[in-house]
């Protein structure tokens, strides 16, 4: 009697399990839908752990200017001195810029060669407003934001009419137009090749000068954290899921009666706007804007950062941005050092060109470390158990792009 009861119980359980496995996944769970409950609690724990790590990291980064940490070779000076603070702030900002580029290539799968346009627009429009009008910093920033939103909408609406390589070319052409405009120096507004220096009349004294590097560093950190949170929120929103679905299979999204164009445009505009914010912070940090921020080379360096970090991974993009900037800056210093100067020309010439080393490194990563840093970590965690399926595979995300 008791055995039949237990058998029946078992049957019931099995039936329930089968039913559960066929039930549609709860709405809005997106790519992670359809996992077993054991996996889900594991994911929850991991997410908690990741969150705790991130908070601890941000707190540590926020405390750095108050600490006296020497990292010879990595930083030019102890962490509380302006030299190191400037460099670290630049690294954080580039991490944020790479994160905005991640929205394009890692989320919607758009290969853009014109992202620099929005960074440059943020920097130049704010710079020109502060130079030419008596506006305060905050109103000027709001106006700049509005300009960047409009610019991203207009250019995005046109560029997204095509996809793939033609899309890349149209964005490249738009950015090139911006670059030509900046270099032409219409009515002396942009300062041409020399660049535009920041007019500090309306900028609060707290954010001006070498002695306030600390505040600028905190500003850069805040920009990075805010952009990270916005990107995370966008990715977990319905629009973000739709965008990811467009990347995976655009036709299927269209068949389902949804509009890929609008999702793409939304993400494009958000990405451009956030890039504009990075540009504004960049203007304050470097106390000026240079034509390089609008150039195709800058977009390419963003692409390199994201690929180094691992396409599709948020922390990968940030890490890629930080590492790239650090390498770029420190290799330039290394190039002028005596160690390099004493080498024979065959070694000295290549080693004294930071971009040669970075370009070679990039080629090697693409050839031998598919998926960049995030892909490498993913393979490690797969090998040691638990990490399977939690994050998206950067190699696959890259193949879906464009």
Partner 1 sequence: MSTVVLLLVTGLGLGAVYFLVSSGLSLIYGLMGVLNFAHGAFLTLGALIGWQTASLIGAGTWAGFLLSLLIGCLVGALLASLTEFVLIRPLYERHIEQVLVTVGLNLAAIALFEGIWGTDPVYIDGPAWMGMTTDILGAQTPNHLFITILIAVLVLVGMVVFLKKTRYGMIIRAGVENRSMVTALGIDVRRAFTLVFMIGGAAAGLGGVLASHYFGYVSPMLGGSLLIFAFIVTVIGGLGSLPGAAVASLLVGVLQQFTNYYWGFGDFVVIILLAVVLLTRPAGLLGRKAVATA
The angle that helices 296-309 and 314-335 make with each other, rounded to 10 degrees, is: 120
Rounded CA separation 171/115 (Å):
8
Q: What does the per-residue mask of binding to partner 1 show for 237-276, with x meaning CB under 8 A? A: ----------------------------------------
Buried b (16+ CB within 10 A) or exposed e, 275-299: bbbbbbbbbbbbbbbbbebbbbebb
Residues 67-126 that bind partner 1 (CB under 8 A): 111
Q: Is the CB of 349 or the CB of 380 nearer to partner 1?
A: 349
Cα torsion 297, 302, 305, 308 to 10°: value is: -80
Q: Which window, 35-43, 230-238, 358-366, 373-381, contacts partner 1 (CB under 8 A)?
A: 358-366
Q: Which of 47, 194, 201, 399 binds partner 1 (CB under 8 A)?
A: 399
Q: Is the CB of 28 or the CB of 359 nearer to partner 1?
A: 359
Q: Which of 71, 201, 359, 388 binds partner 1 (CB under 8 A)?
A: 359
Q: Which of 145, 239, 300, 369 binds partner 1 (CB under 8 A)?
A: 300
Q: Which window, 6-14, 28-36, 213-221, 295-303, contacts partner 1 (CB under 8 A)?
A: 295-303
Residues 127-166 that bind partner 1 (CB under 8 A): 158, 161-166
Beta-carbon contacts of 372 under 8 Å, excluding residues fewer than 6 positions away, are 307, 308, 309, 310, 311, 313, 316, 320, 365, 394
- Count of helices and strands (H, E) across the chain: 17, 2
Number of residues binding to partner 1, judged by CB under 8 A: 43
Task: Judge contact between 112 and 105, C-beta under 8 A.
Answer: yes
| Min separation Cβ 9 and partner 1, Å | 52
| Min separation Cβ 174 and partner 1, Å | 7
288 DSSP β-pair partners: 197
Task: Judge contact between 318 and 326, C-beta under 8 A.
Answer: no
Q: Which of 257, 344, 367, 384 binds partner 1 (CB under 8 A)?
A: 367
Q: Which window, 16-24, 66-74, 347-355, 383-391, contacts partner 1 (CB under 8 A)?
A: 347-355
Task: Judge contact between 400 and 247, C-beta under 8 A.
Answer: yes
Q: Is 362 in the site for partner 1 (CB under 8 A)?
A: yes
* Exposed/middle/buried for residue 202 (C-beta within 10 Å: 0-12, 13-18, 19+): middle
Q: Enumerate binding residues for partner 1 (CB under 8 A).
A: 111, 158, 161-166, 168-170, 172-174, 176-177, 180, 296-297, 300, 303-304, 307, 349-350, 352-360, 362-363, 366-367, 370, 398-399, 401-402
């Amino acid at each position: 009697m008791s055995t039949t009861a237990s058998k029946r119980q078992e049957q019931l359980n099995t039936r329930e399990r089968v039913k559960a496995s066929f039930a549609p996944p709860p709405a809005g769970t997106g790519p992670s839908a359809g996992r077993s409950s054991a996996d889900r609690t594991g994911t929850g724990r991991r997410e908690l752990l990741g969150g705790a790590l991130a908070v601890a990291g941000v707190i540590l980064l926020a405390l750095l200017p108050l600490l006296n940490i020497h990292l010879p070779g990595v930083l030019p000076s102890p962490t509380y001195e302006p030299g190191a603070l400037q460099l670290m702030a630049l690294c954080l900002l580039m991490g944020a810029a790479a994160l905005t580029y991640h929205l394009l290539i890692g989320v919607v799968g758009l290969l853009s060669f014109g992202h620099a346009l929005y960074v440059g627009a943020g920097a130049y429009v704010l710079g020109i407003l502060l130079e030419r009008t008596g506006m305060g910093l905050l109103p000027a920033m709001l106006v700049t934001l509005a300009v960047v939103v409009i610019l991203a909408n207009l250019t995005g609406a046109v560029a997204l009419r095509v996809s793939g390589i033609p899309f890349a070319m149209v964005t490249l052409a738009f950015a090139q137009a911006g670059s030509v405009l900046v270099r032409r120096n219409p009515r002396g507004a942009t300062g041409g090749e020399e660049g535009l220096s920041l007019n500090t009349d309306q900028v609060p004294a707290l954010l001006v000068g070498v002695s306030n590097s600390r505040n600028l560093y905190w500003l850069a950190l805040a920009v990075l954290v805010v952009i990270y949170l916005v990107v995370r929120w966008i990715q977990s929103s319905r629009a973000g899921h739709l965008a990811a679905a467009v990347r995976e299979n655009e036709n299927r999204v269209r068949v389902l009666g949804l509009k890929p164009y609008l999702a793409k445009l939304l993400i494009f505009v958000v990405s451009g706007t956030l890039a504009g914010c990075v540009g504004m912070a960049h203007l304050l940090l470097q106390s000026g804007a240079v034509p390089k921020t609008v150039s195709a080379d800058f977009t390419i360096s963003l692409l390199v950062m994201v690929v180094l970090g691992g396409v599709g991974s948020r922390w990968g993009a940030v890490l890629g941005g930080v590492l790239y900037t650090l390498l770029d800056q420190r290799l330039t210093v290394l190039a002028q050092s005596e160690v390099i100067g004493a080498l024979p020309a065959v070694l000295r010439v290549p080693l004294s060109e930071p971009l040669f080393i970075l370009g070679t490194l990039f080629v090697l990563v693409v050839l031998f470390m598919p998926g960049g840093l995030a892909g490498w970590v993913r393979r490690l965690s797969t090998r040691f158990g638990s990490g399977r399926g939690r994050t998206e595979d950067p190699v696959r995300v890259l193949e879906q792009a464009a």
